[in-house]
Structure 1
Amino acid sequence: MVYQPSDDDRASVEGWFAQYDALAEQGAIEQLADLAVFPMNVVTDVPGGHAAVKQWSRREYVEAMKEAMGGGTAGLGLTSVRTPRFLSPNLVVVETDATMTIEGREEHMRYADLLVRTEEGWAFQTMIQGGWGHGWPPARRG
């Protein structure tokens, strides 16, 4: 059976992303980590290779985001269009098409997050985006 989210369900996910975006803009990496469940699954690919998968601790997430975000996303002209796909009342995969302007040129990216509903509200548990796997070992079956 396909779960049909209510307006409140959709609004709660939109509210979570509004909070996430505000923290990202400020570069508040520790507070972003507070919005996650660890260990966090990170799925990407190795350029010219295959998929790569890791589980990050909170410390590993914070280190990676400090490197990726620096002082935050403010000033990047970041716009995001998000499409939530509810699997159940407590699981939602959110696909994001984002555009940011860096030094006058537009960069486009697409990624997805798995959000899980916890007692404290939504939290992200899996991040999926191509191109992060430089130096990562390729995924192996079994």
Structure 2
Amino acid sequence: MQQDDVRNGLFTPSAEDLAGVEAWFAEYDALAARGAVEEIAGLAVFPLNLATDVPGGFGAVRQWDREEFVRVMTEVMGGGTAGTETTSVRTPRFLTPNLVLVETEATVTVEGERQSMRYADLLVRTADGWAFQTMVQGGWGHGWPAATRG
């Protein structure tokens, strides 16, 4: 967990580091199953960065404050994900001891319909533990303006 754990410019996470990220996602998944959006918001650092794409083939980015996150995720999660069958394979890539990019490949089954997705989260280590700060997933950008350079 210390900066001196970085060798040749690359951080190699310990079993404890990996377990910490796995525990964070276990907590997140349990909260999502209950639809506990306010508690999930407590696991984030705001403003929260989002990157997605919009119809037409361009990327889009936004920042959400806590209020917007709670509003949108309450609409998305409804009463929670407990009625869905979800399998997730998460691959954490530690950039430093305090920054980890986690790619998730998930399959969700709702009423017999399967949907596969891939998304990523940037977690940052805080004094209170891991928190997500950036969410990246395609398909959320309906109605969002396309990103522009400069």
How high is the TM-score relative to the length of structure 2?
A: 0.93
Matched position secondary structure for 2:147 = coil
Q: Identity of paired residues, percent?
A: 68
Which residue number corresponds to residue 42 of structure 2?
34
Matched position secondary structure for 1:5 = coil
Matched position secondary structure for 1:25 = helix
Give distance in 1, aligned partners of 2:100 and 2:26. Answer: 16
In structure 2, give the amino acid aligned to 1:122. W
Question: Superposed, which structure 2 residues align to 1:37-48 within 5 Å?
Answer: 37-48=45-56
Which residue number corresponds to residue 58 of structure 2?
50
Report deviation, 1:135.
0.5
Is residue 2:107 matched to residue 1:99? yes
Matched position secondary structure for 1:72 = coil
Larger Rg: 2
Give distance in 2, aligned partners of 1:18 and 1:137. Answer: 34
Report deviation, 1:51.
0.2
Give distance in 2, aligned partners of 1:66 and 1:111. Answer: 19
In structure 1, give the amino acid aligned to 2:97. P
Report deviation, 1:49.
2.7
Matched position secondary structure for 2:104 = strand
In structure 2, give the amino acid aligned to 1:79. T
Which residue number corresponds to residue 19 of structure 1?
27
What is the RMSD of the two structures over their aligned residues, measured on CA atoms? Answer: 0.6
Report deviation, 1:102.
1.4
Which residue number corresponds to residue 122 of structure 2?
114
Residue number among 2, 5, 26 corresponding to 2:13 in the alignment = 5
Report deviation, 1:91.
0.1
Give distance in 1, aligned partners of 2:56 and 2:86. Answer: 28
Detail structure 1 runs of 4+ shifted over 2 Å in the superposition.
none
1:33-60 deviation digits (Å, cap 9, x = unpaired):
0000000000000022300000000001
Number of residue pairs aligned between Structure 1 and Structure 2:
142
Give unpaired runs (5+ residues) of structure 1. Answer: none
Give distance in 2, aligned partners of 1:98 and 1:68. Answer: 16
Give unpaired runs (5+ residues) of structure 2. Answer: 1-8
Which residue number corresponds to residue 140 of structure 2?
132
